[in-house]
Structures are given as structure tokens and as C-alpha cells.
A = this chain, B = another copy of it.
Amino acid sequence: MSKWIWYPGDFELYHDQKVHMRRKEKGVFWPCEWDLYSCSFAVTFRKEADLASDEKIRTAATAPGRVVVVDGSGRHWLKIGEEYKVPAGHVLVEATLNKQGGLCAFYLQSAKLGTDEGWQVRPNSGKFVGAASNGMYEKIEDDPEVFKFSYKLLKPAEVKEDKTGVLYDFGRETFAKLIFSKAPRAGARFNYGESLEEAKDTENCPLFETAEKNSEFPAQAFRYLFFPGLKSTDVIFEAYYEYLPHKRLGSFKSSDRLLNKIWETSAYTLELNSREFYLDGLKRDRWVWSGDAYQSCLVDRYLYFDKDIARRTMTALRGRDPVKQFMNTIVDYSMYWILMVYDHYMMTGDAEWLKSVWQSAKTEVDFIKTRKNGEGFIEGIPGDWTFIDWSDMDKTGAVCAEQILFWRVLDRMDFMAKVCGDKGVSYANEASQLASKIRKYYWRSDYCAFIDSYASGKNHITRHANIFALLFGFANKNERRCIIDHVITNSAVTPITTPYFKFFELEAMAQIGDLKYVMDNIRSYWGGMLAEGATSIWEEYKPGVPAAEQLAMYGRSYDKSLCHAWGASPVYLLGKYVLGVRPTSPGYGTFEVEPRLEGFKELNGTVPIQGGIVTIRYGCGYLSVETDRDGGVLKINGKSVMLRKNQPTEMPL
């Protein structure tokens, strides 16, 4: 079977460019704020083989090019698309493509010579390596320059008409393209709204279209569509949900209906944002942000275990050497990329993939180190963005949270160097020196906390660095106790306002074993959004403030994303710490299942794992755990029970 092939990374970089060049707000194109990487302009594909019999070939390409066939009958130049019969015997096929800014992808249809990973490919300045492909593009008619989404017809839940216009309510957040069979009159505009407020506020609505000659409009995020000044009879259209057809493997169904709804809404939020890559949010920029993607990868493995989107996202984010800036310009975001790579290896056990990205992990870390300040801490220079979170924080000079994150990076790099058999580098010393320095400069035993910054002298404390110290195993036993008592459970320390950092906080507490804190927070924080009518999880949420007053962000009336991937963490937290499924060695070679049943009458769920699935059923005082992989251990009531492949372990509780 033949597949479309390309130079590794080109497909991802091509679509990454596209994704970052389509934002519009209030009718104005909104350019990407960072630089984008080029895919290869001049690419050569090659294959040598010995044919037992004559073989018909036919080619296709996304770029102008030429195919050279050298066989027993001589040297032949073929146009792309030309058919040819290769005589039996030895044959060399070489195809060179050129495209200005496009994707150079090649297809050769043939039973014995067909393009696949067995072909070699190189940019004209590089070495031949194995070609890359993607299961989405296996037919000659496929076009790898067009991302292959699926479509499903949506029906509005309600259509309301009044003197101001006609409003379509689709019942929940969605992402759909519109095809008009009766278009609004030319020049008429219509508004997209995640909220009713923005759909109806023609002056300030960030997303709108103006009807012109075209009758089809590309997919956008919305729940509401409003046609100001029109009646329902003025327009006839169909909305098609645009999505990636990956299969949901994780599930969560318990006697706690609120938790079920939180899980479902979180899962739907991730679904909507899982597209070419993990996007940050559905409405506003739909760009690929590394910190956001880091969390999406974690959540995904408790929902789809879709390794392909994770690899696509990491490839797109990383670009190619030389590294010229931090990912998304954010210092911390380059660091998360390293942790994303580490997590991917831990969850999948794919050492071959890890080795394939190892060199670029090292050069990314080398780039981060170019920002060492006089004390040896990572400190951004003008043009770099120290993000951490949308929270008031003392960001003077080198920030503590960045240092603990970087300590974790060095620590995990050391681990990965060993997996990759790279004896030429060591990160362990560097990590331990950094650890001592962090304690010296940032730990204040009088405050029982890590301070944000030493440079300002303000000794300001936020949760962030302290959460990282817990989460990444940086804090020692004493520091841990201090942080929990004096920071995390201290309501005087400003609470986290984004689901993004809630994720980190709750995972830290779950690791410590304080599941009550986690569950209380999920119920109140995520539950709070649902109570305000959320149909997908928001970018930011301030409990107590009514929904309609929460729509503004970044100084603009409706810029807050109401469907933000970083809100999907309950899927991860409930799967990992309530259903309790997690690997104890890379790729789920061994794993534990530690269901936490307290408070549940019933708890049913599935968690995908590398190469298999774990199913947990609890109800009527009876627990059943089943898995189709070896290596699992059930931990329950202080006991450990070996799980057997395909044999349910059942017990009364």
C-alpha cells in the first residue's frame, strides 16, 4: 500500500504556518506574534529495489517536480502524474520537488515500489533519512496540504426572531462551517458568539462575517449566530461541525452527577481544541501554545491516547534548529516542551521516537541557557515573555517559578540522556547546583515559602513557585509541609484564577494525597462555571462573579475564550487520581490502578493506556477491574493485587 510521504517535520511545519495565519478579529487579520519555521523548499525522495516482474507506476505530488527512473532500459524522466512501466530488474526511482513555501509531498502508486516509510528523503542540503507519512493520507486523491477534518450536520436548538434580528442557538459551544443555500444579502453581516451577549453586540463582537459572493464560510467557534436586522426567512444555511474523528477511549460515570457533567464538559472542551494540533482555545487565536499543549497532552492520554496529535504538536512547536526564540516567545513554554517530551516517553515507552527528538531537546535547552543571568538563573531579556500565569506576581529579574521549572527540565534531561544512551552530556550536576541556589535565593523559612523574585527585595509570595516545588518533587519534606500549611491552604495567598494553574495546584495536592482538596476544588471551581451556564470550560474564572460580567479579557469586551483547552484537566485528575490509573514504568510496562471510592456509591470508568485499556466498575459494594495488558497492580485498602491480562479482578468492598 502506498502513502503520501514527505521529509520528517515538513507536514507539521506546513500546517503550523497555516494555523498561525488565519486569525481575524473584528474583521481585521491578526498576525502571529512569533516567528514561524519553514518547511523544505527543495526535496529529493528515493527508492532502490529489485523487481521480479514488470511494475506499473503512477505518481502524484503537491509540488512541481520531476521523477527520474533508472532501470535496465536506461534513464527516464517522468512528469508528475505520468504513468510508466518499470521493467523487471534493478531500479532506482528519484523524485525531486520544489515549492515556494508549500509542502513537498510525494506519492507513487505501485504494489512493489509504493511510497512509504521505506523510502528515503532529504532536503537538498541534507542527508537521506526515512520518509515520514501520516495515516490520514493514504490515497492518491488525498491532499496533504489540506488538513483532513470530518464534518457532521448540526441542528440549532432554538431559533429566535425579534425586531433586532434572528438568533440561532446551537445549545452548546461548537465549531462549524456554514453553507448558505440562501445567503444574506451582500454586505449583510452576521455575528458569531460563544456567549449570547457577544453575538448580539454588533459593535463589539470579535467574530463576524460579511456576506459577499461566497456562500460558504470557514469553521468558527460559536454557540450563537445572530443576523442583525434579518428575519429567519432571509437566510437558509446549514452548519457543519468540523472535527477530528479520533475515538474517545476514556470515560467517567459515577453516582456524582456534577462530577460526571464536569468530566463530560471537560472532555468536550479538549475535543473541540484537538485539531491540526492542540490549540489553546477555540475562538480567539487558535494558535499552538506550548504550555497549553503540555496540559492538553496530559489530559489527552486519559481521553484519546492519541499519540499522533501529541507528536504533531511537539514537532510543530519545536520547529527546526537553530532555535531563535522561546516557544511562543515565552521562557516557561520552551521548558514545558521538554517535559512534554518526557511525559510522552513515560506514557508511550517509545524510545525510538525519543531518540529522534533528543538532539532538538538538547539544542532547546542550550537556547534556554543563553538566558542565564549573573547568578546563573534563567532570566528573560527584552522580547522574551515570562508568563507563568495571568496572576499578579513579582516578575522582577529572575522568577522563582521559572527556576524550579528549569530544575525539573534538567532533572528530566538527565533521565532522558540515559534512555537515549547519550553519554556525552550530563545534566545532574547542573540540576543539583541550581537546586542549592534556588534554596539560597528564594526560600524564606520565616515565611515558610518560596518568594517570587529576589531582585526586587519585596519578598512577594504567590502560589505558583510553591505549587511547582510540590508538583515537581523539588520541595523536601519540611518545605512541603510549610508550603501546604502556609501557602496552598492559606486563603490570604491570592487564589489561582485560571484553570491552567488550577491544574498544577490540584495535581500537586493529589500527589501529596490530599484528594479532598482536589475534589472540593473541582466541584466548586469547575462546578461554578457549569452553574453559570458554561457548555465548555473557560480560559479564566472568578468564582462569585456572574457569567455576563466575566466575558472581557485583555482589555476587550468579549475576548475571554469560553472554550479553552487548559480547562480540561478534570479528565486527567479524575482518571489519574480517582480511577487511579497511572504508569509506574515507561509505556505502562508496569502500572498501578488505585481507585479512590470514598464518597461514591457508583464509579465506572475506562482509562486508555499504552497498548490497552483499563476498565473500573464499582457499585453495590463490589469492585471490578479489568485490563488487556500485563503489568498492572490494583492498590486498594492498603493492599496490592496483581492484575491479570483479560481476567477481571473482582472483590466485595
Contacts and interface: CB of A to CB of B under 8 A. Distances in A.
A359 interface: no
Interface in A10-38: 14, 17-18, 20-21, 26-36, 38
Interface residues of A, number: 42
Given A28-B78, A28-B79, A41 B17 contact: yes
A546 interface: no
A20 B124 contact: no
Given A31-B66, A35-B124, A98 B20 contact: yes
Contacts of A126: 35, 324
Given A35-B40, A100-B17, A28 B66 contact: yes
10 contacts: A28-B66, A29-B66, A29-B98, A31-B65, A33-B96, A33-B124, A35-B124, A36-B124, A100-B101, A321-B322
Contacts of A41: 17, 35-36, 38, 101
Contacts of A267: none
A514 B177 CA distance: 78
A99 interface: yes
A303 B131 CA distance: 49
A125 interface: yes
Contacts of A98: 20-21, 29, 31-32, 36
A123 interface: yes
Interface string A185-224: 0000000000000000000000000000000000000000
A500 B102 CA distance: 36
A557 to B, nearest CB: 15
A278 B34 CA distance: 35
Contact of A42 (B18, B36, B96): B36
Interface string A73-107: 00001111000000000000000111111100000
Interface in A118-152: 123-126
A35 B77 CA distance: 21
B125 A35 contact: yes
Nearest to A21: B98
A26 B75 CA distance: 14
Contact of A18 (B18, B26, B65, B100): B100
**Dominant secondary structure at the A interface:** loop
A550 interface: no
A37 to B, nearest CB: 8
A83 to B, nearest CB: 14
Contacts of A324: 125-126
Nearest to A33: B124
Contacts of A72: none
Contact of A31 (B26, B30, B97, B125): B97
B100 A99 contact: no
A254 interface: no
B125 A21 contact: no
A610 interface: no
A64 interface: yes
A459 interface: no
A41 B40 CA distance: 14
A75 to B, nearest CB: 9
Given A38-B41, A100-B17, A322-B322, A29 B64 contact: yes
Contact of A65 (B29, B33, B66, B99): B29
A571 to B, nearest CB: 33
A521 interface: no
A26 to B, nearest CB: 7
Given A31-B97, A35-B41, 13 more contacts: A21-B64, A21-B98, A30-B66, A32-B42, A32-B98, A33-B96, A34-B42, A36-B41, A36-B124, A38-B41, A38-B101, A101-B101, A322-B322
A604 interface: no
Contacts of A325: 124-125
Contacts of A77: 26, 28
A79 B36 contact: no
A14 B18 CA distance: 19
A27 to B, nearest CB: 7
B21 A99 contact: yes
B124 A79 contact: no
A48 to B, nearest CB: 16
Interface in A352-377: none
Contacts of A34: 42, 124-125
